[in-house]
Amino acid sequence: MLYRTNKKNEVVLPALEQAAGSYQPERNREKNTGGIMAMKTLDCSGLKCPQPILKVVAFIPNMEEGDILEVVADCPSFPTDIQAWCNRTGKTLMFCMDDGTGKNSAQIQF
């Protein structure tokens, strides 16, 4: 699924679809052109440190500049690990939050 940016270069997300649980990410690689970026999802549920970060690193070839990767992980150290990785690599951590069930969701802009 492609997303566009508004005049402030903010990502326009399908918030209602995402909140309703009907959100299905695009699985195919699409070119990033003209302010449109791709949103990819990586499910790291069940993996423990350092596996979620290693999965993110392995996923990098699928990303282009401006793309957003959403990572879901239930590893307790994931929020700290992803923040440290983003700081080290210069990627933008848009947010990392716990959904209340022990799963963390983070969005990283490449």
Measured distance CA(31)–CA(37) in Å, rounded: 8
Length of the chain: 110
User: b vs e for 80-102, b when ≥16 Cβ sit within 10 Å of the residue's Cβ?
Assistant: ebbeebbeeeebebeebeeeeee
Catalytic: which of 44, 49, 75, 86?
Answer: 49
Question: Is 96 in the active site?
Answer: no
Q: Give the residue numbers marked as catalytic.
A: 49
